[in-house]
Structure 1
Amino acid sequence: MKRLLTLLLFVICSGYSASSQAQNAQITGTVVDSTDKSPVVGAYVAVSRDTPDAKPEYVTTDEKGKFSFNGLTKKTTYQIKISYLSYNDLIRKITVDSDVQNLGTFELTEAVANLKEVKVVGQVTAMEQKGDTTQFNAAAFKTNPDATTEDLIQKMPGITVTNGTVTAHGETVNRVLVDGKPFFGEDAALTLKSLPAEIVDKIEVFDKLSDQAQFTGFDDGNAQRTINIVTKADRKVGQFGKLFAGYGLDNRYQAGGNVSYFKGNQRISLIGLSNNINNQNFSSQDLLGVTSSGNSGGGGRGAGGGGSNNFMVGGQSGITGTNSLGLNYSNKFGTKVDVTGSYFFNRTNNTNDQTTRQEYFLQGGGGNQFYNDTSRTSSTNMNHRVNFRIEYNINKSNTLIITPRLSFQDNNSASMKVGLTSLANGSLLNSADINRTNNTSGYNFGNDILYRHAFAKRGRSISLNINTQMNDRSGVGRLYSKNLYFTNLEMPGDTINQENLTSSDGTTLGSNLVYTEPVGKNGQLQLNYNFTLSNSNSARETYNLNFDDNSYASLDTLLTNNFDNRYTTNRAGISYRLRKNEWTSNFGVDFQNANLYSQQLAPRNATVDQTFTNVLPSFMLMYRSKSGTQFRTFFRSSTNQPSITQLQNVVDNSNPLALTAGNPNLKQEYRNNLNVRYSLAGASRPYSLNAMIFVTQTNNAIVNSTFIARQPTTLPNGIVLEEGAKLTSPINVDGSWNARSLIAYGKPVAPLKLNVNVTTGFNYVRSPGVINNVSNFSNTYAVSQGLVVSSNISENLDFTLSYSGNYNVVRNTIQPQMNNNYYTSGISGRVNWIFGKGFVVQTDVNNQSYRGLGEGYNQNFTLWNASVGKKFLKNNAGELKLTVFDILKQNNSISRNVTETYVQDMTSQVLTQYAMLTFTYTLRNFGKMPTPTNRREFDGPGGFPGGGFPGGGNRGPGSGGRGF
């Protein structure tokens, strides 16, 4: 018996060993040009079993044109496909006969088309559709030698950049990756401006699913429009960057730059910036709600003012001085650990002079009421933010992804404001002369831990995501306000002199467990359970000045509050996905139970305990043809909880003429979202066409209710509201709709060497609101038209012309006096010309027109910037440039905001004319790419081994769901 067991064990081990060796064969080869036999660097080599449903694996050739594959099975037939820009694809079938098999040399022939005996050789395909990813070949678009990636992508059909916001096929781009990895967190504009166009091989545009959804292949509704920058194989080793410094009139200055070190998987980038010309090199992450200055937007170019070098992303109105520093690092350690991290610091000083005009119409007589104010605000904001992503491939079946985020903020601000309320006949109701200071600091921390396991049976998987979020904020503010009440003879005025102490903190713990199981040949089932617990606390203590000892020691109980909030959700669901030929469908339903428990601790005790039970259906239908035609419709229901600020029942008297307060009785919102998208793209079409419809319908929408006092009125909390003063608080109202449609068309015009992008859109918004307990629905209809024409002539001449127009019609159900038609348009042009021995001329002109706004707000102005420079040093690495900003002295900033209760027009301070002399040094030092080890890209960078559901889900680069 013992000998029998020993023999059996020997046979099993021998079979296992033989199987392991059989599946560990290696093939090698070399790819060269068929004409001059030179190696082809960076060619894509795909290897797959010679079966209809086989999933390919990829490598790229090294600087010698060589490639290798490991882990193949002997005595098995494989198909090899080699592709590269301007070459014909090469397909060959081979049978693996030995452990290490050299396939020899593969010769690629250049793509040639015969047109009446005229040969067109090596024409680069500008755009291809690969699955649900639109891929642009950078070689097909000509840019200046100093161009950034942002300059490059603006030439691509369907992609535009406006005031730092990137849109692709009509949708805002939320993330930009470099070779599938994050770069400076999620700051899209910073990434595009930091990378030179010359290192880019391809630009990929797709909807990136969450890490968990990529793994399962089921869309969880959290997809983000993403651009992935694929760098050239011969630019993956080297140092590159740009350093600049300039000084000009009125003590205007700028200095900074970026330097990157790439060596295969190891990449280090350093950026810095210091200026006082509104180049705001940061994103909205750097503010995180701690600012209290007037940053409520500005139209046109006024809020920016940095010309073609504008770094503005979510910036502030007015004039801003910025000091920032950033570091990005990524590396791959062995075959198991992939690390990406970034640190970013900035300090901004902002000043802003602003005028605001609001018009209200009151039911029941009395006509319109107007509120006007002028303000001057200054603020200093400091921010540190750190982002990491650690991906650990434990083995072929298990991965662990950890993504921590941490930021610290500190903000100091001071403002002076004079506000005045009046009636349509000119009668004055009240006024306030307000001085405020605020000092606020806080931090935000978040972390996701995602574990993914793929079972041996293809399509069976389990994944668990654990999410943690914590935040804390505290501040000290002072308010001094002299108020006049022109209709109150008993109390014609008063003075407020107060100090307030605010604090808020919150913690959220969440988990999401997902299990998938194959059903039949083409189906897959998903079961999911989600639990979330959010706890938050907010407190505000207000003290009046004690004149006896000149201290803030007298507690104002009417303006003091302490509030606790807890929101708990339990959600379980089931989904089924079916893939058949070119169609994919997904049906699902979630059952959610949520509890909202709120407790007011001061100045009196009150408790709100609400439970909500919801059914949340979802549906997806997608058609995707091999020719590049795609159709996708997606429907999902979701809920949205009120914030602690909206729930906290304490009056904020920062502006005594316009008080605000929360509402502890708020319910959660219930939203229905429908997205429909149709697109045509691909190498067979010299254009891209995208049509989209987005509709959101909200029940229990959280909107503002405004009460305007007709006479001195005592509120339930004891505060007296003088005539003309307002109190605004949130309430729940049904009937909110938001619909947006867009058609985007992009086409290169080869005979004229131009790229043309055309967009046409129609929006409809139905916003409910309440004013003096009467409901009003504001219906806004907007038609937009956009046109961008960019050159593709040469590297020495680059120009862009653009037009954007918006016509808005506003109609109100009970306030026809607020009905309004207004039109805004912008026409701009930019030219960059290099001629002679390194001479450079740059100019950009932007005309803004506003019609139909309030009196004094209809304007037409032109912002013209121009520069002339000379390149010198070796390889033209140096440049000296003289720039004049706002040559015509017409820069302006205006905006209109139409709400359900009022119409607001606003102007903000802008940067005026200045001249600056700037020196720029460009660093370009690229080396040779080391011979890579066998690198498999499972459906793009960061993919998960095992490959996913055939054709299922929104995949694109970075996906790789574990389907079957």
Structure 2
Amino acid sequence: MKRYISSAVLILALLFGSLAQAQNAQISGTVVDSLNRSAVVGAYVAVSRNVPDAKPEYVTTDVNGKFSFTGLSKETAYLVKVTYLSYKDFTKIITLTSESQDLGTIQLTEAVANLKEVKVIGQVTAMEQKGDTTQFNAAAFKTNPDATTEDLIQKMPGITVTNGTVTAHGETVNRVLVDGKPFFGDDAALTLKSLPAEIVDKIEVFDKLSDQAQFTGFDDGNGQKTINIVTKADRKMGQFGKVFAGYGLDNRYQAGGNVSFFKGDQRISVIGLSNNINMQNFSGQDLLGVTGGGGRGGGSSGNFMVGNQSGITGTNSFGLNYANKFGKKVEVTGSYFFNRTGNVNEQTTSQEYFLAQADSNQFYNEASRTSSTNANHRLNFRVEYNIDPKNSLIVTPRLNFQDNQSGSFKTGLTTLANGSKINGLDNTQSNLNKGYNFSNDLLFRHSFEKKGRTISLNVNTQLNDRNGTRNLYSRNLYYANFGLPEFSVRGDTTDQLSYTYSDGVTLGGNVIYTEPISKTGQLQLNYGLTVSNSNSSRETFNMSFDENTYTDLDTLLSNNFDNRYVTNRAGLGYRYRKNSWSANLGVDFQNTGLYSQQLAPYNTKVDQSFTNFLPNFMLTYRSKTGTQFRTSFRSSTSQPSISQLQNVIDNSNPLSLTAGNPNLKQEYRNMFNVRYSLAGAARPYSLNAMVFLTQTNNAIVNSTIIAQEPTTLPSGIVLERGARLTSPINVDGSWNARSFLAYGKPIAPLKLNLNVTTGFNYVRSPGMINNVPNFSNTYAVSQGLVLSSNVSEKLDFTVSYSGNYNIVRNSIQPNLNNNYYTQGVTGRVNWIFGKGFVVQSDINNQSYRGLGEGFNQNFTLWNASVGKKFLKNNAGELKLTVFDILKQNNSITRNVTETYVQDVTNRVLTQYAMLTFTYTLKNFGKMPSGDSNRRRDYEGEGGGFRNRGDGGRGPGGF
């Protein structure tokens, strides 16, 4: 009996194995233009059984014109159909006689017949999931004729733009491409503002892997959330853009514009801007290295994005973007951007510090006025040379220059809860900083004859240099109460001149080899070496009153510091892919050597070595109906910056000193995330959900010492009563959890798009206050709702709501636990009526509850304009705008750290009126006479850009 059962099991296993093998055949091919043999990107390929009423499956060709279908059956006849705008359809019937059948090169020929206009009425699919790419159809979202791509994408589910920062499905968008090519470097907001919505065919959102990972198919953790703008086929040649100029009350002005020249693969865009109404057109690179040290507690240039600088800013900027193909092998993109900003701000700050004893809590209040001028030059290039079908070379250099001048005056006062004064200051300082940053990546990729066997070599270089001068004059007061108001007052004066200098060189490289070991599996071997050297020095001179000049070197505030990192990293990875499932599994062994030497004011050395195992894992499921599930885990390390390591006191604010810590260790971070999405033509809605969890060992956090009485620090500097010293330390117990849910659905009867977002964040921040550990736990629940119109191009409106409820709990003093709530309600309308009349209005109500005294506010910002379009095709527009009609504009922010709670208000732009003239250029589809045979060259590559990283099919993939 057992023998019969065993035989039956064996027969069933063979049967199901044969069926599985029979249904694992595939069809692949490459689609090119018949004239110039260039790849046709985004062509639709359909495969269906060659029987009546068979349901087809669809894919689009990637950036190399390639496509593939899996999960097909052997010995079965299939109909293959390739379609693309302005080309004749290609059809072919094939019978699969093997597990893999390559159709080779499919040449599409141009459809030159003149057709009468055909009007198609039907519902456009708003959103689809194509592999690892979420694709939005721009035709499903109606915008007014003057809308930018930024206006368009804000109607799409899960995409928001706030103060120039673009987020998609809960993650910050770091790159925006145009037809798969960089546009103005990595400045996402600038790209979205520069392109009109009417040229957009599709918006694609995906995680773009690095060039090396995209080639091998193994995710290296260096991917970026990316938006790709797919332009319409009939907008790939022509000129478009707009120029504007306006003047208003209080000498407010604006002028600028952008013009693009598209001619197939050759694309040139020019932008310019000049204004004093807070229209800011720079990215974080414009403030590189001149705003702070980059460590926790210091200013970081990454905190400044487009439109996010406080105060009132005047901007003058110019930019140029270029992209072209030279023959079939060389593709070049590059951009230059100049920006000069002048900023003036008045700020009030209120801080409450968490101390172990309730009756000793300190309050610090500060009022400041600052002014700054920042000039920046940015150059970005990318040259891709396809040497032959098996070899390619990519070179990506970047260069930034900047010059920053700033000055500030501030008054500060520290008190106890009962109002007793501890200390105060009047502080004036001026700063001059200059610097540059250069980086270059060189990537060579080679594919062997055996499919899936590849080798790639990456070499990168980074150089940076910064030097600065600071003048500081500060009058400092110290109070001693002894139960009586202001029983005694003692003061001192700081009058100093400081010179700072830092530079760094980083050389690194890695080699990656991939080898197929089965039809579904692939191995990866990798090795990398990075060497980084940096030097930082500061010389501080006190005023010599005998000589009335700065000649007295202050050795306690001077420092010379060298730092070197050497990192060796080797790893092994395995990749599996079959049907709808794919998985990556790997582990890296990393050894990092840290050598630091302080040369002045005394000589000390730090020599440390760190050894880590860094595992990674990813599992992905993608159904043919648009369902996608992905979970991943990755470990990584990050090194402390030179400013965090440099043990020198920064006394920019004598009541709040900062210093580095040469004994810092590297952070070890574990990251886990889960993503789930539903989208597709068969669904009337879209759903995106994600959960991110990050746990950090040896987290670099702040340790704050608040002197209860005058204290002499080990460096010899006296920390006066109530003054603070903040320095970085390593602490375990740092957690960050984020969740996000986005739901989108068109409401067809009302011609509206509904987008709903919900999020929950949890942050556990460890810190140290007077050598007592404190854990600040912040819980935040957010809710968003957006209703946008889909009525017509003449009437465009949006209504939105966003609310955030925050709960703060800290371990030192539960009585200081705090709940606060912020919400915003916004309405926007753009109505074109009659003979070119335009009415625009936006109103935004902001409410703050649970903040400090004087910070709970409710105010409404209302802007409105009326205009008239004229000239041929309504190319001209004259518009009168009134900003802040109700005179209620305000700026309030709350910042919760492991050390204190801070409320800040900033100066804002108040009511003004401005008259503006705008001229819009639209000239598409023009072509030199006698050149009709080269239409393909002018129209360029159409369709989408597909990420060929994990789950995709790069040369190293399957």
Residue in 2 aligned with 1:195? 195
Question: How far is 1:818 from its partner?
Answer: 2.6
CA contact (8 A) 1:129 1:682 kept: yes
| Residue of structure 1 aligned with 2:323, choices 318, 326, 330 | 330
Residue identity opposite 2:465 in structure 1: D
Is structure 2 residue 478 aligned with structure 1 residue 480?
no
Aligned CA distance change for structure 1 residues 86 and 462 (closer, same or farther; 3 Å): closer
Is structure 2 residue 130 aligned with structure 1 residue 130?
yes
Question: How far is 1:811 from its partner?
Answer: 0.8
Q: For 1:388, what is the secondary structure of its paired residue?
A: strand
Residue identity opposite 2:795 in structure 1: L
Matches for 1:562-577 after TM superposition, within 5 Å: 562-577=560-575
| Residue of structure 2 aligned with 1:422, choices 415, 421, 428 | 415
Q: Structure 1, residues 608-660: CA drift from partner, whole Å, max 9, x if none?
A: 00000001000111111010100000100000100000000000000000000
Aligned CA distance change for structure 1 residues 750 and 26 (closer, same or farther; 3 Å): closer
Is structure 2 residue 250 aligned with structure 1 residue 250?
yes
| Residue of structure 2 aligned with 1:360, choices 348, 353, 365 | 353
Is structure 2 residue 934 aligned with structure 1 residue 962?
no
Question: How far is 1:125 from its partner?
Answer: 2.0
**C-alpha separation in 1, matches of 2:853 and 2:776:** 22
Q: Structure 1, residues 835-875: CA drift from partner, whole Å, max 9, x if none?
A: 00000000000111110000001011100000000000000
| Residue of structure 1 aligned with 2:461, choices 442, 446, 468 | 468
Q: Structure 1, residues 71-91: CA drift from partner, whole Å, max 9, x if none?
A: xxxxxx996423469999985
Gaps of 5+ in 2: 1-28, 51-55, 66-76, 96-101, 298-302, 482-486, 928-933
Residue in 1 aligned with 2:8? none
**C-alpha separation in 1, matches of 2:957 and 2:918:** 51
CA contact (8 A) 2:264 2:939 kept: no
**C-alpha separation in 2, matches of 1:936 and 1:265:** 5
**C-alpha separation in 1, matches of 2:467 and 2:662:** 22
Residue in 1 aligned with 2:523? 525
Residue in 2 aligned with 1:717? 715
Residue in 1 aligned with 2:22? none
Question: How far is 1:152 from its partner?
Answer: 1.3
Q: For 1:366, what is the secondary structure of its paired residue?
A: helix
Residue in 2 aligned with 1:622? 620
| Residue of structure 1 aligned with 2:726, choices 720, 728, 734 | 728
Is structure 2 residue 624 aligned with structure 1 residue 656?
no
Is structure 2 residue 390 aligned with structure 1 residue 392?
no
Question: How far is 1:104 from its partner?
Answer: 11
Question: How far is 1:941 from its partner?
Answer: 4.9
CA contact (8 A) 2:781 2:805 kept: yes
Q: For 1:626, what is the secondary structure of its paired residue?
A: coil
Residue in 1 aligned with 2:6? none
Question: How far is 1:102 from its partner?
Answer: 9.6
Residue in 2 aligned with 1:184? 184
CA contact (8 A) 1:284 1:314 kept: no
**C-alpha separation in 1, matches of 2:756 and 2:957:** 38
Q: Structure 1, residues 502-554: CA drift from partner, whole Å, max 9, x if none?
A: 00001111112111000111000001111111111110100000112211000
**C-alpha separation in 2, matches of 1:213 and 1:59:** 16
Residue in 1 aligned with 2:229? 229
Residue identity opposite 2:375 in structure 1: M
Aligned CA distance change for structure 1 residues 341 and 86 (closer, same or farther; 3 Å): closer
Q: Structure 1, residues 434-488: CA drift from partner, whole Å, max 9, x if none?
A: 0000000000000000000001100000001111111000011000000111129
Is structure 2 residue 440 aligned with structure 1 residue 441?
no
**C-alpha separation in 1, matches of 2:532 and 2:414:** 41
Residue in 2 aligned with 1:44? 43
Is structure 2 residue 931 aligned with structure 1 residue 932?
no
Residue in 2 aligned with 1:68? none
Is structure 2 residue 950 aligned with structure 1 residue 953?
yes
Residue in 1 aligned with 2:804? 806
CA contact (8 A) 2:289 2:435 kept: no
Q: Structure 1, residues 882-927: CA drift from partner, whole Å, max 9, x if none?
A: 0000000000001000111110000000001000000000000112
**C-alpha separation in 1, matches of 2:536 and 2:785:** 48
**C-alpha separation in 2, matches of 1:449 and 1:99:** 30
Q: For 2:356, what is the secondary structure of its paired residue?
A: coil
**C-alpha separation in 1, matches of 2:59 and 2:461:** 36
CA contact (8 A) 1:27 1:101 kept: yes
Aligned CA distance change for structure 1 residues 372 and 57 (closer, same or farther; 3 Å): closer
Percent identity among equivalent residues?
74
Aligned CA distance change for structure 1 residues 108 and 220 (closer, same or farther; 3 Å): farther
CA contact (8 A) 2:385 2:393 kept: yes
**C-alpha separation in 1, matches of 2:105 and 2:83:** 26
CA contact (8 A) 1:292 1:438 kept: no
Residue identity opposite 1:215 in structure 2: F
**C-alpha separation in 2, matches of 1:719 and 1:99:** 75
Q: Report which stretch shifted further, 577-586 or 655-664.
A: 577-586
Question: How far is 1:932 from its partner?
Answer: 2.1
Question: How far is 1:750 from its partner?
Answer: 1.2
Residue identity opposite 1:217 in structure 2: G
Q: TM-score, normalised by structure 1?
A: 0.87
**C-alpha separation in 2, matches of 1:162 and 1:194:** 17
Residue in 2 aligned with 1:240? 240
Q: Report which stretch shifted further, 327-336 or 919-928.
A: 919-928
Question: How far is 1:168 from its partner?
Answer: 1.7
**C-alpha separation in 2, matches of 1:235 and 1:686:** 29
CA contact (8 A) 1:938 1:960 kept: no
Q: Report which stretch shifted further, 42-51 or 179-188.
A: 42-51
CA contact (8 A) 1:199 1:232 kept: yes
Residue in 2 aligned with 1:220? 220
Q: For 1:931, what is the secondary structure of its paired residue?
A: helix
**C-alpha separation in 2, matches of 1:839 and 1:54:** 44
Residue identity opposite 1:44 in structure 2: A
**C-alpha separation in 2, matches of 1:219 and 1:148:** 33
Is structure 2 residue 403 aligned with structure 1 residue 406?
no
Aligned CA distance change for structure 1 residues 344 and 56 (closer, same or farther; 3 Å): closer
**C-alpha separation in 2, matches of 1:668 and 1:260:** 46
Matches for 1:229-378 after TM superposition, within 5 Å: 229-291=229-291, 313=306, 315-364=308-357, 366-378=359-371
Residue in 2 aligned with 1:512? 510
| Residue of structure 1 aligned with 2:585, choices 574, 584, 587 | 587
Question: How far is 1:581 from its partner?
Answer: 1.8
Question: How far is 1:108 from its partner?
Answer: 15
Question: How far is 1:815 from its partner?
Answer: 1.9
Is structure 2 residue 452 aligned with structure 1 residue 459?
yes
Is structure 2 residue 844 aligned with structure 1 residue 851?
no
CA contact (8 A) 1:690 1:744 kept: yes
Q: For 2:152, what is the secondary structure of its paired residue?
A: helix
CA contact (8 A) 1:740 1:764 kept: yes
| Residue of structure 1 aligned with 2:906, choices 896, 905, 908 | 908
**C-alpha separation in 1, matches of 2:416 and 2:943:** 64
Q: For 1:426, what is the secondary structure of its paired residue?
A: coil
**C-alpha separation in 2, matches of 1:482 and 1:105:** 80
Gaps of 5+ in 1: 1-22, 30-40, 62-76, 113-118, 298-303, 305-310
Aligned CA distance change for structure 1 residues 226 and 936 (closer, same or farther; 3 Å): same
**C-alpha separation in 2, matches of 1:87 and 1:792:** 31
**C-alpha separation in 1, matches of 2:878 and 2:60:** 50
Residue identity opposite 2:640 in structure 1: P
Question: How far is 1:160 from its partner?
Answer: 2.1
The size of the alignment, in residue pairs, is 887
Q: TM-score, normalised by structure 2?
A: 0.88
CA contact (8 A) 2:172 2:225 kept: yes
Q: Structure 1, residues 687-727: CA drift from partner, whole Å, max 9, x if none?
A: 11011000100000000000000000000000001100000
Question: How far is 1:57 from its partner?
Answer: 5.2
**C-alpha separation in 2, matches of 1:314 and 1:867:** 21
Q: Report which stretch shifted further, 923-932 or 713-722.
A: 923-932
CA contact (8 A) 1:208 1:954 kept: no
Q: For 2:547, what is the secondary structure of its paired residue?
A: coil
Is structure 2 residue 485 aligned with structure 1 residue 492?
no
